[in-house]
Each structure stands twice: as C-alpha cells, then as structure tokens.
Structure 1
Amino acid sequence: MSQNTLRQFNETDRLKKVIIGRWEDYCSDQSYVEIVNEEQKKGLPDAKTLIPEFQTFKQTLEEHGVEVLIPQYVGKFVYDQLTPRDIGITIGKKFVVCNMVKKSRRYEVTGIFPFINTMHGDEPSILVPDHGILLEGGDIIVDKGHIFVGISQRTNEAGFDFLKQHFGRDFNVVPVYCRSLNDGENVLHLDCAFNPVGENHALIYVDGFREMPKEIKDHYHLIEISSEEQAELATNVISLDNTTVISRDHEMCSRVNQKMRDAGIEVIELPFNGAPATGGSFRCCTLPLVRE
C-alpha cells in the first residue's frame, strides 16, 4: 500500500502515516493565547514539559514503523498546534477539513496543507464544509462500517448532516449526543468518552452520553471508565494496530491500562502530562492519514 494514499476505515487498523502535534513554538507569544476549554483555565503547560514528552512519543511511533509528520509553524496568531486531530479527519480515502469553533484554531489547518496536498485518494479527495457547519475531528470515529459523530460542544447537527451526505452510501453514519457542561459533564469531544481498541473492545465513559447508540452496545465489549479516569483522558489512547495502544503513564489511567491488557491488548505507557493540561491526550495529538 502506498504511504501517499489516504486510507482510514477502522480506528484500530495498522497505523502507517500520521501527523502529530507541533510542540516547538508552543505559546511563544502570550498576546495570542485564547483559552479554549475548561482545562486550560487551570494553567497552560510549560514548553519544557512538552519537548521531551513529544520527542519520546514521536520516537515510539517511528520504532513501530509509523511515518511521523509535524505541522509547519503557522504563525504568531496560532499559539497552539498540539492537537491536530481536531482540524481534519481521514474517512475512507478522503480527507475532511474541519470547521473549528474557536477563532485561534481556525488557521491551524494551513500547517498541514503541504502534507494533505501530496496525498492521493478518491476524488474529490479533500472535502471542505460550508460556513455554519461546525465539525471537529475529535468528534468523529470511523470504525467497523460506522462513522460515529459526536454532537457536542464543538460539532453541530449540520456537521453530522454533512458527513451523512458525503459518506452515507459507504458508511452507517451514527449521531452520538454527548453531555456538555450544561448537563453537568464536560465531554469536549466524542473521543473523550468513547474509543475503540483491540479487535472488538472500546473504552467508554457511560455518563458522557445523553443516550448510548445501539451500534456501540452491539459491536463492542465495553471497558467502562470512571469520571475521575475520564478527567485524566484515560479514554484518549491511540491504537497502533488491533493489538497495541499507546496510553498515559498516569495513576488515574493505570486501572484502564490493566483492563486493556486483560483483554489481550499490549499497552505502551508513556509519560504525557503537558498536552492533557490543554485538554487532549494521545488521540487528540495525532491525525492519521494512512491506516492499513
């Protein structure tokens, strides 16, 4: 398979090519900082924390045969390029450019355009939603013939309709209604509450949903996590394939990591505290372009 052909049909297929967050130049000018979620109100991470964590993450991916790309520096008005998951999504053999809610994130996608332009796929291979369609990649999970779309603080009904219009013939597009701050929860994106792992397991934060879709109940053995574990993003792992994940080396993730091991999944634990302080962990910090 060509490394330059867009491909993602399952969350746990072997990862071959990925964009990860840019840790250099993070928050280099305080004048442009926009607080975009509740976690960031507690304080932003120090660049000295980010550098070794992202370097170790990149090295681990490369040791497992993954081609790793890093976004180009966009400019002073974008202070945070740590979580590229949200700015786009590979679905099948197409790439969807997402419409971001927060002003400071709307230009991030320009940092990955050089990579996207070299990728081949089904024409039109790049889809751009119209204005008013809110869509972020953390709310989109492609797996087992489904596209699960979180209707959340960051993705609206129009975003769901857009995906159904363009992918409804090839996938079952499923709306998943996430609970927000107004519901007493803080599920920013779907992947903070649901994430497939292994052959047929999934990490799940049940209280993060207004109602759990039948498609999740029927297709996965669920590993439930607590609100305290969810707060530390225990769901937000990245699958290297259907036998291996990368997860946080953190006391509030240890029980979930062991549950995955009990299910026959190898768990690579890495220290990762900087990015989670901004609201995203390993899945948020990766944008897969090619999965076998």
Structure 2
Amino acid sequence: MLKLNVKNETSRLRAVVLGIADSNGPSPNPKECYDPKSRQHVLAGTYPKEEDMTKEMDAVAAVFEKYSVKVFRPKAIKDYNQIFSRDIAFVIEDKMIKANILPDRDREFQAIEHVWSLVPKENRITLPEECHVEGGDIMPWNDYIFIGTYYGKDYPDYITARTNIEAVEAIQRLFPNKTVKSFELRKSNTNPKENALHLDCCFQPVGKNKAIIHKNGFLIEDDYNWLVNYFGKDNVFEISKEEMYNMNSNIFSISENVVISETNFTRLNAWLRSHGITVEEVPYAEIAKQEGLLRCSTLPLLRD
C-alpha cells in the first residue's frame, strides 16, 4: 500500500509521479491543441521535439534522485502526450482524487493505474461526472485549499476552462475542516499571454510563507489582493506577463528550502536564492511550449 500525505505545496517531498515524454507522438494538428500556446508553436513550426522533452524530464528525475525522492512514472502509451501528470489526479491529505479531465485524455489516467491501485480503496476518490477539475487548479496550503476556477456562463466555450463550480463545492464537502478558497482565472482560447490555464500558471506558494504571483492571471482584482494580503507584500514575487507566458510561477518545491526551477528564470531564481532557497536549475523551455512546466509534470504523493 502507498502512504499518501500532502497538506501543502512545500513540505519535504518523499514520493511523486513524474510524467514521461518517451513516446509523445508527432506534432499535433492546430485543431487538436488544448491550449493557445501549444497551438502557437504548432503554427510557427517550433513545437517541441520528443528527444528534447525527454532530456528535460531526465534532468528533473536526476534532481529527485539527488534528494532521495521515490519516483513513479506512467506506463508509456505509444504516440500519446503523458507529460503533465498533475492534470490527471491530485492528493490532498491522505486522499487521491481522480481528476475529471478532457475526455480525450482519459487514457493518461489509465497509465498510472499501478499507482492508483496502491492507494487504500477508501482513499481513492472519483468525483461525480459534472465536476470538471484538473490538478493544476488545486493547491493545498495547510488550513486552506486554493482552487482556480471559472464561473462564467460561457464556461463551455473555453477549452482553457478546466475546473468548475461543481468541483469546488465537491472538494469543500470532501474536506469540511479546510477552508476552500476559489479564484476566478482569466481565460483565452487564442492568446496565451491572456490565459491562465490553471491556478499554478499565475500563482504558487514557495518556502514557508512566500508566493509567486501574476496579477493579470486573476479575473477579479479582489482575489489577487486577497493573496497579496494573505502572504504579505514583502513575501510576494510579482511576475510580468512575459514571465507568466514563460511559466515562471510553475516551478516545483522539493522542500521549504529547495526548489526545481527553469534555467532561464534568472530574475525569479535570484529572488529565491536571496531568501535562502536552494534552486536546482533544469532546462525546461521546450516543455514550456505546451503551456505547462515543472509543477504541471509532477504529482506529489507524499510530503513529510
């Protein structure tokens, strides 16, 4: 059996699912893209190559090995994108919750069945069909569960809207002792610089009490202000539109003192180091072309 425990984003990581890029398949057709950034790179002929993405993920696996983290990988499905394991399930406390993702991606979950089956049955949660949710929108933070969502009546028109009000309410029922705080995100099917695909594309806590944030990712200014007040202005690192586009908020914490970050995030990495956080830099710019980065490709199972 697999012991699960995830209460926040930054406690010491012991076990994780890391996606794979081994058989990612050819560059998709623009109409098959799930997000505007992938589509932009397909049209420009700059969509990432499988061998480059595999190298990037190997670099992350090496960091996990260095810190003695147990790593599970999905079973490979031929010509299928399995990089973003965060989307397909998430852990809160000792429960593993299967995400209700885009129907086209259901096979991704089947590829981690060997992990799911290790979880005690009573701790495996499948939400009702009407609850749309992806793990990139779910952020446990001690007494809180932060959730990115979109409440607009035009929700069905956005392929970039992944988590709905029904899912927010279902998670609140599952964890009555937690305060569920939802944030409406800015969505665009066509402009990646105006689209926060998930909450972790515009916000993420780091260390003990700090956070990375991009104001324009939030549809409602009060939501952004709430987070800045909660963490404190001096503890918040504000990222620009360009930095959000390059996924600066989507790094990944191994502990309160160690993060994995992208080599090109010079301003962010300097800020983290100035606060005593060790930054393990990896190349991840090719994977970033699919509007996902380090947090998106990791599914934490156990943190101390």
Quick one: which amino acid aligns to residue 289 of structure 2? Answer: A
Q: Tell me how far apart the structure 2 counterparts of residues 126 and 88 of structure 1 sit (CA, whole Å).
A: 10
Matched, 1:286 2:298: yes
Q: Report the TM-score when normalising by structure 1.
A: 0.91
Residues 1:29 and 1:205: Cα distance change in structure 2 (over 3 Å): closer
Aligned to 2:154: none
> Any conservation in 2 of the 1:185–1:208 contact (CA below 8 Å)?
yes
Distance 2:27 2:240 in 1: 37
Matched, 1:268 2:280: yes
Residue 198 of structure 1 and its aligned partner are, at CA, apart by 0.6
* 1:245-286 deviation per Cα after TM superposition (whole angstroms, max 9, x unaligned): 000011xx2101111111221111111122111111000010
Whether the 8 Å contact between 2:63 and 2:280 is mirrored in structure 1 is: no
Partner residue of 1:178? Answer: 185
Q: Which moved more, 1:232-241 or 1:273-282?
A: 273-282
> Cα offset for 1:60?
1.1
1:114 aligns with 2:128: no
> Could you tell me how far 1:107 is from its partner in structure 2?
2.2
CA-based RMSD of the aligned residues comes to 2.1
Does the 8 A contact of 1:15 with 1:240 survive in 2? yes
Please say which of residues 218-227 and 88-97 is displaced more in the overlay.
Answer: 218-227
Which residue is 1:194 aligned to?
Answer: 203
Aligned-pair CA distance for 1:217: 2.4
Structure 2 counterpart of 1:21, one-letter code: G
Deviates more, 1:123-132 or 1:18-27: 123-132
Match of 1:61 in 2: 64
CA distance in 2, matches of 1:12, 1:29: 34
Within 1, Cα distance between the matches of 2:248 and 2:106? 27
How much has 1:227 moved relative to structure 2? 0.5
Q: Is the 8 A contact 1:23 1:54 kept in 2?
A: yes
Does the aligned pair in 2 maintain the 1:49–1:273 contact within 8 Å? no
Structure 1, residues 86-113: CA drift from partner, whole Å, max 9, x if none?
1110001001100113x32122111111
Q: Distance in 1 between matches of 2:282 and 2:237?
A: 21
Deviation at 1:7, TM superposition (A): 0.6
After TM superposition, list the pairs within 5 Å mapping 1:123-138 onto structure 2.
Answer: 124-138=122-136
How does 1:67-216 map onto structure 2 within 5 Å?
A: 67-74=70-77, 79-101=80-102, 103-120=103-120, 124-152=122-150, 153-167=161-175, 169-181=176-188, 185-209=194-218, 210-211=220-221, 212=223, 214=226
- The normalised TM-score by structure 2 is 0.87
The change in CA–CA distance for 1:52 and 1:29 in structure 2 (over 3 A counts) is closer
Q: Tell me, which stretches of 5 or more residues in structure 2 are unaligned? A: 151-160
Instruction: Indicate conservation of the 8 Å contact 2:23/2:78, yes or no.
Output: no
Give the AA of the match of 2:125.
L
SS of structure 2 residue aligned to 1:135: coil
Unaligned regions of 5+ residues in structure 1, if any? none
Q: SS in structure 1 opposite 2:148?
A: strand
In 1, the alpha carbon distance for the partners of 2:97 and 2:56 equals 28
Question: Aligned pair count?
Answer: 282
Structure number with the higher helix fraction is 2
Contact kept? 1:247, 1:268, Cα under 8 Å: yes
Q: In 2, are the aligned partners of 1:233 and 1:276 still within 8 Å (CA)?
A: yes
Q: Aligned in 2, Cα 1:104/1:29: closer, same or farther, shift over 3 Å? A: farther
Tell me how far 1:154 sits from its aligned partner: 0.8
Distance 1:119 1:132 in 2: 24
Deviation at 1:62, TM superposition (A): 1.0
Q: Show the counterpart of 2:51.
A: 48
Partner Cα distance (1:29, 1:282) in 2: 21
Counterparts of 2:32 and 2:78, CA distance in 1: 14
Amino acid at match of 1:178: L
